[in-house]
Amino acid sequence: MKRPAFIFFISFFLFAIAGNCSAQTADRLVREVREAAADACVKVLYYFKADVDDVSISDKGFVEAQDNMWHLKGETYEVFTDGNATWVLDASSKEAVIEPAWTYDDLERFYESLQASGSVFDIVVDSKTESPKKPVSDFTPVLGAEWIITDLR
């Protein structure tokens, strides 16, 4: 998979759920995500731009989260976490990597490492809505036989 694009794609997750996050710490972001997702399904439409070194990357899409599950869909990558496993999908190459389930603690550590690297993020949240919780199956992808699947669990 295209590692730099993926890093930025995942990094916005913490920003997008909580809204304007430039003045918030990672632990506060994770707390807000956990609290919002505990009682409802939270959906955020976002746009972000990130600059690291001389690389500029942008993306737009949505993230839905509830409990310890989320579905993140951008222009390049898609991520599903159902609490048991995390699927990282690259639709353009029909490649999927399955990893042990990512937790909010994993996301917090990831965010902290990006921030320490000097990354610059510009996040715009278009909307944030809450709805009743969805079935767990909404947080698990359905992949056809044409997909290359690497299971790292």
DSSP 8-state code for residue 119: -
Q: Round to whole Å and give the CA distance between 104 and 131.
A: 21
What pLDDT, on a 0 to 100 scale, did the predictor assign at position 146? 97
What pLDDT, on a 0 to 100 scale, did the predictor assign at position 42? 86
What mean pLDDT is reported for the chain?
76
Under 8 Å between Cβ of 49 and 122: yes
Between residues 93 and 53, the one the model is more confident about: 93
Under 8 Å between Cβ of 14 and 33: yes
Q: pLDDT confidence of 77, banded at 50, 70, 90? A: confident
Highest mean pLDDT among 2-16, 36-50, 69-83, 130-144: 130-144
What pLDDT, on a 0 to 100 scale, did the predictor assign at position 43? 85
Q: Round to whole Å and give the CA distance between 55 and 50.
A: 8
Under 8 Å between Cβ of 20 and 28: no
